[in-house]
Amino acid sequence: MMMWLVGAVFKALRVASNLVFFFEAQRLLGCLIKPTSDERVQRVDQKVLEAAGVELRHENVKCAGYKIRTVFCGNPTDPPLVLIHGHSMSSSFWYRNFADLVNMGYYVIGLDLLGWGRSERPFYSGETVEDSVHFYMESFNEWRVNLRLEKFSVIAHSIGAYLAYEFAKRHPGTVTRLMLVTPAAIEQRLSLLTGIYFTLTPQTVARRLGLLGYLLFEMKFPKEEPYTANSLKDLTWQLNCRPTPSGDIAIRHLIEFESWNRPVVKRPFINSLEHLEMPVHVVSADMDTLVSIQSVENLYRALVKTGTECTYNVTIGSNHCPFLEVPDQFREIVGKYFDRKMRAGA
């Protein structure tokens, strides 16, 4: 009996050590096949931004000791327009829009939110929804104070739109015009898969799993041209692998599991609306698999009820990122409300 037990224990140890060996070996292989480094992030980011076809200036803006990567484009005497990206993205994901927005008469400023993109990724220790919003919004506010942005327009995407709305609410008089593009976290209800995806923090998975992580990324990453052209896919991978996914972790606290199979948004966008002074433009995408067009419409109707001046447009043939997938349609919609030359003529 004793001998049998010892034998079983040794066998189990051998299996475990083989598994560990396999895991580490494939991780090493992953590092060799898809190496990641800050230098590579920079190179691939440069490639994406070169495709913008317009002159851009980079700067790391210091706020509260953290570096916030910022991209500037256009004439500094024009009114500022701030671009806020969504989950796991960065200011570079607007590369197909910079030139259009400059042509509409704006000084365009894109930032990488704290914890994401090429901005600093400090250790995140918050727990509550308020902590998460605070993490982004405090740094965002310091950033715009440092840049002396007192009045500016905002175009914000997905979870960035959720955060931008919070900012506009808390800092009345700063935002002159707000566009919410396929805003996320609208309603409490959340699909199980989305819940798991955002709870596991995709960046951690990509970073820790090595080759397996890369294969998963390959499987999950969209195959359509807008997402793969001009090194954007490479940039996504490099950004996913940057150490300390604090951006992901902070967002994780917006979601909780009521039961093992029922993830919910803790403070849904639609429950935190109030009357705003500036015009708000809501844009949805007819093929959005992450945020249903119905949810966005519900948000729009709820916004109208607050007495806020607002409009609603649907982009056709686009999934979650219309500014990237159907940039011409996006330009048309934005132009209708933002084009200063057209508006001056009207």
Ligand X SMILES: *[C@@H]1O[C@H](CO)[C@@H](O)[C@H](O)[C@H]1NC(C)=O
Which positions lie near ligand X, rule CB under 6 A? Answer: 311, 313, 332-333, 336
- Show the tokens assigned to 208: 């820790």
Residues 307/201, Cβ–Cβ less than 8 Å: no
N residues, the chain: 346
DSSP3 helix / strand / coil % (the chain, rounded to 5): 50, 20, 30
224/3 Cα distance (integer angstroms): 59
Q: Can you tell me which residue has the tokens 């403070």? A: 267
CB of 113 to ligand X, least distance (A): 28
CB-nearer residue toward ligand X: 155 or 163: 155
Structure tokens at 110: 């894109």
Give min distance, CB of 19 to ligand X, in A.
54
Q: Considering beta carbons, is residue 187 or 332 the nearer one to ligand X?
A: 332
Query: Nearest approach, Cβ of 341 to ligand X (angstroms)?
Result: 17
CB of 336 to ligand X, least distance (A): 5
Q: Considering beta carbons, is residue 82 or 283 the nearer one to ligand X?
A: 283
Please say which residue, 246 or 313, places its beta carbon nearer to ligand X.
313
Identify whether the C-beta of residue 272 lies closer than 8 Å to the C-beta of residue 264. no
Q: Which residues, 6 or more positions from 214, have their beta carbon under 8 angstroms from its beta carbon?
A: 30, 33, 34, 206, 237
Amino acid at 86: G
DSSP summary character for residue 189: B
Q: How far is the CB of 217 from ligand X (least distance, A)?
A: 34
Instruction: Select 249 or 282, whichever has its Cβ closest to ligand X.
Output: 282
- Are 99 and 54 in contact by the 8 Å Cβ rule? The answer is yes
| Smallest separation (angstroms) from ligand X to the CB of 112 | 29
Q: 230 or 313: whose CB is closer to ligand X?
A: 313
Distance of alpha carbon 17 from the chain centroid: 39
Closest residue to ligand X, based on beta-carbon distance: 313
